[in-house]
Amino acid sequence: MAAPVFVIFAVLLLVLGGGVWVGLGLMSAGIVGLEVFRNMPVEKLLAQDAWSSMTSPELIALPLFIFMGELLFHTRLSEMTFAGLTPWTQRLPGRLLHVNVLGCTMFAAASGSSAATAATIGRITLTELFARGYDRSLAMGSLAGAGTLGLLIPPSIILIVYGVLAKVSILQLFIAGIVPGLILAGGFMAYIAVAAILKPSVVPAEDVRYSWGDRLRGLWQLTPMIFLMVLVVGSMYGGFAGPTEAAAVGVLGAVIIAALQRVLSFKIVRDAALGTVRTCSMIALLLASALFLSRAMAFLGVPGAVAEGIASLDMGRYGVIFVILAFYIVLGTVMDGLSSIVMTIAITLPLVTAAGFDPVWFGVFLVVVVEMAETSPPVGFNLFIVQQLAKASMWEVSKAVFPFFMIMVLLVIAMIFFPDIVTFVSGKAGPGI
């Protein structure tokens, strides 16, 4: 059994190291493994897996949520969010630094992408925070950390992909991600408050007073965002819609917001549609290749052999999950989160379920670990976005985000020992899709 494992991983290292697309690399490893060790029609298996994965009804929600996020990127939602949150954060320790976290938390409910969340919120907040004299490090770190909430708070693109690969209810995954996402946002805000109390110089001296009238006007600025959150998250949590229906309603909400802000045009719709096609094409290639590689490894007996090897080490359930955690953290330093999940889920998911962990819990666990990868050099996407927005060095951004990275580590540890953080809400959602 060692030979198939060696050949598959050798091919993966060769093609991925050579700069080949991850999807094509996964496909190549599966083809080579089956051609060398099995006598079977590989082309028929590949065609069958590609067709079945791309026609899965669960995937209908994916392009809709992506299209919704693309449309919202062209609206004034980020400017209105900053203006609406400003009066409400003025009395908090750290003041406007909390807008990064709150803005990303709210926008995460309208975008399933970490990069889109950080870029959309950051293009307004960083400019304002720097101009007002807020600490650059806290401003950059809070944006890079809070931007990852786009992966966890529904709708989440990665949770949809994981649900399809793991054959788990996407609705349960969405509901399960809400509480950990809010806990993470609360942890970020708590760190900002403590940092501002211990070192008051991180916040400029301002003598600005906001009345309750200003706060109420701020709520009016937040109305489009709240409207969209109620449409998408509220409809799913209330049991009125599944992920697909919520995605369709979310697109309608995005169109209404763009129309009311008078930015809706044929050019914006075309650009949003093209961006959606590009993103979906990338994800489709990854999904088809990952499912094919999973089938190939199943035919070769790789998952069973790996499971037996780890079981023979007698590490216990917590030993297994901490080994997997370390594995994904290391993998995240050289590969983006979506690719690392689709490449490895066929091996890691059976190990986790055999150790007694719930697959819905593991999906949320994986997303938080991927969030850590998004903020770890050298390929953390959020680091690149913040670096470009702030015109800072990678070392400055990496150092700024480290405390927020450690907050994610603490959440992961809490989830391991207290899994009800994830599962107690998702169990009420029903199976659904």
| Rounded Cα distance, 10 and 103, in Å | 44
| Rounded Cα distance, 96 and 20, in Å | 43
| Rounded Cα distance, 204 and 40, in Å | 69
| Rounded Cα distance, 249 and 17, in Å | 42
pLDDT computed for residue 141 by the predictor: 92
| In-domain check, residue 433 | no
Helix and strand numbers (H, E) in the chain are 23, 0
CA atoms within 13 A on the CB side of 171: 20
Give CA separation, 267 vs 74, 224, 264, in Å: 11, 22, 8
Please count the other Cβ atoms lying within 10 Å of the Cβ belonging to residue 14: 14
Number of residues that make up the chain: 433
Please count the other Cβ atoms lying within 10 Å of the Cβ belonging to residue 213: 9
| In-domain check, residue 123 | yes
Q: Are 87 and 209 in contact (CB under 8 A)?
A: no
Burial classification of residue 167, based on how many CB atoms lie within 10 Å of its CB (0-12 exposed, 13-18 middle, 19 or more buried): exposed
| In-domain check, residue 432 | no
Please count the other Cβ atoms lying within 10 Å of the Cβ belonging to residue 420: 11
| In-domain check, residue 373 | yes
pLDDT computed for residue 231 by the predictor: 84
Which structure tokens are listed for 59? Answer: 């995937």
pLDDT computed for residue 2 by the predictor: 66
pLDDT tens digits for range 402-419:
999 999 999 999 999 998
pLDDT computed for residue 393 by the predictor: 85
Of 372, 370, 364, give the one whose Cα is nearest residue 421.
Answer: 364
pLDDT computed for residue 433 by the predictor: 47
| In-domain check, residue 431 | no
Q: How many domains does the chain have?
A: 1
| Rounded Cα distance, 257 and 359, in Å | 36
| In-domain check, residue 335 | yes
Question: CB within 8 A of 18, min separation 6: which ones?
Answer: none
| In-domain check, residue 391 | yes
Question: CB within 8 A of 384, min separation 6: which ones?
Answer: none
User: From the CA atom positions of the chain, what is the Rg in Å?
Assistant: 22
pLDDT computed for residue 336 by the predictor: 66
pLDDT computed for residue 403 by the predictor: 93
Flag residues of the chain having pLDDT under 50.
428-433
pLDDT tens digits for range 188-219:
999 999 999 999 888 887 767 777 788 888 88
The domain in which residue 46 lies consists of: 2-426
pLDDT computed for residue 413 by the predictor: 92
Tokens 């719709």 correspond to: 269
SS3 (DSSP) at 403: helix
Cis, peptide link before residue 155, omega less than 30° from 0: yes
| Rounded Cα distance, 109 and 98, in Å | 17
Which structure tokens are listed for 145? Answer: 């950390």
